[in-house]
Chains A and B, each alone.
Chain A
Amino acid sequence: MPALLSARNITKVYEDTVALQDVTLDIEQGMTGLLGANGAGKSTLMTLFLGIIQATSGDFQVFGEDGGDPIQAHRLIGYSPEYECLPPNVSAAEFTTHMARVSGLPRTEARSRATDVLRHVGLDEERYRPMGTYSTGMKQRAKLAQAIVHDPQLVLLDEPTAGLDPAGRQEMLELIAQTSSEFGISMLISSHLMGDIERTCERIIVLEAGGVVEQGDVSGYTTDTETLALEFDEGIEAVAASLTNKGIAVTIEGRALLIEEASQDDLDVIRDVIVETGALLHRLAPRTQTLSDIFRRPAP
Chain B
Amino acid sequence: MNAPVSGQVNGLEQREGEVFDLGYRHYDGPRGGRGKAFMAVYDDGIRSVLGLGRGVAAKMMCGISGLLVLGPAIFIISVAGFMSSFGGETDQIPLPKHEDYYGLTFIILLLFAAIVGPALLSPDKRNSVLPLYAVRPLKSLDYAIARWLAFFTFAMAFTIVPQALLYLSFVLSDDSPWGYIKDNGRDLWAIFAIGLILAAFMTSLALAAASLTSRRAFASAGVIAFVFITAAIGGFGGEILTSDQDRQEHAAGASSSTGNHGDEEVQAPDGDAAHYIHLLILPDTMLAGVSSWTFGDRTHFPVSPWYNAMTIAAVIAGAFGTMVFRYRKFGG
Contact = CB atoms under 8 A, between A and B. Distances in A.
B127 interface: yes
B24 A47 contact: no
Contact of B331 (A53, A89, A150): A53
A87 B23 contact: no
B41 interface: yes
A150 B28 CA distance: 10
B4 interface: no
Interface string A164-208: 000000000000000100110000000000000000000000000
A71 B127 contact: no
A contacts with B: majority SS: mixed
B131 interface: yes
A47 B128 CA distance: 14
A101 B27 CA distance: 13
Interface string B118-131: 00000110011101
A295 interface: no
Nearest to B37: A102
Contacts of B44: 98, 101-102
B119 to A, nearest CB: 10
Given A85-B128, A89-B55, A71 B139 contact: yes
Interface string A106-135: 100100010111011000100000100000
Interface string B129-162: 1011111111100000000000000000000000
A27 interface: no
A238 interface: no
What interface size band does chain A fall in? 35 or more
Nearest to B54: A89
The range of chain B's interface size is 35 or more
A51 B134 contact: yes
B218 interface: no
A103 B29 contact: no
B21 A102 contact: no
Interface in B14-37: 21-27, 29-34, 36-37
A94 interface: yes
A1 interface: no
Nearest to B124: A87
Contacts of B128: 81, 83-85
A39 interface: no
B278 to A, nearest CB: 42
Nearest to B53: A94
Contact of B21 (A116, A148, A179): A116
Interface string A91-102: 101100011011
Contacts of B123: 87, 89
Interface in A31-74: 47, 50-53, 70-72, 74
Contacts of B139: 71
A229 interface: no
Nearest to B130: A85
Interface of B: 21-27, 29-34, 36-37, 39-41, 43-44, 47, 53-55, 58, 123-124, 127-129, 131-139, 330-332
10 contacts: A71-B138, A71-B139, A81-B128, A85-B128, A88-B127, A101-B36, A102-B138, A104-B31, A116-B23, A116-B24
A-B interface, 10 closest residue pairs, ranked by CB to CB distance from nearest = A101-B40, A104-B32, A94-B53, A151-B27, A120-B24, A79-B135, A104-B31, A52-B331, A102-B40, A102-B136
